[in-house]
Structure 1
Amino acid sequence: MQAGLDLEMVRARAEEVSGLLKLLSHPNRLLVVCELADGELPVSAIEARTGVAQPNLSRDLARLRTEGIVSTRRQSKQIFYSLTDPRIIAVMRALCDAFAPAPGAANDSSKEYVS
């Protein structure tokens, strides 16, 4: 636990954070949000990069939009998606660093987790 952590503040926001984690617990939505952590992308790029089939991707993007996690911008016939909250970007980058570090990154996450 972090020194100086305000446990009462965490307690007050626990429902909100728990809801976010539940939303991101679906593999497709997690992949989408991971891709968007580096910036805005059109739907076609999200589909290509995640490998999520278009009908499923549409459903998951709609859910993320309804929950306020992503926003959209239309440019001609393309729709671009981006994350709405810098805290989500920070969470996703922390997850990526912990579970999928860049090649050559120095960390101990390559060790298998044993429970």
Structure 2
Amino acid sequence: MGLPVFDTNMCPADMDRMASNAMDAANFLKAIGHEGRLMILCHLASGEKSVTELEELLSSRQAAVSQQLSRLRLEGLVTPRREGKTIFYSLADDRAKQIMEVVYDLFCRDD
């Protein structure tokens, strides 16, 4: 799949849609553009995790993990599920998993 060709002959509606999509993409990239949030998404790509599990996997304090999860929730990238006193998080949709696969291929996969 290639990128579309954009030129000066685009109609105003297409330009507006492109600007709106660019804003959505920028917000998405800002949300994942933090090491802690990126690591959370990486762990959630393999399945649902509790906040406690994420704390242990990240070797991080609960407050720090909760802060990053809050931002990811705000951006619609993760969804919570409560079971008693435990809150579990999972990826909200396939966008984050797709991005994590690309990031893994570009930066982590051994050749």
TM-score class normalised by the smaller sequence: 0.7 to 0.9
Gaps of 5+ in 1: 108-115
Higher percent of residues as helix: 2
- Using the aligned pairs only, state the percent identity: 37
Structure 2 residue corresponding to 1:6, chosen from 4, 7, 25: 4
TM-score, with structure 2 as normaliser: 0.79
Gaps of 5+ in 2: 7-13
TM-score, with structure 1 as normaliser: 0.76
The 2-side partners of 1:38 and 1:46 are apart by: 12
RMSD: 2.0
Of structures 1 and 2, the larger Rg is shown by 2
**What secondary structure sits across from 2:89 in the alignment?**
strand
Could you give the per-residue CA deviations for residues 69-89 of structure 1, whole angstroms, max 9, x where no partner exists? 110111122110001110211
Structure 2 residue corresponding to 1:79, chosen from 71, 77, 87: 87
User: After the TM superposition, which parts of structure 1 deviate over 3 Å for at least 4 consecutive aligned residues?
Assistant: 7-12
Corresponding position: 1:53 with 2:61: yes
CA drift at 1:7: 4.5
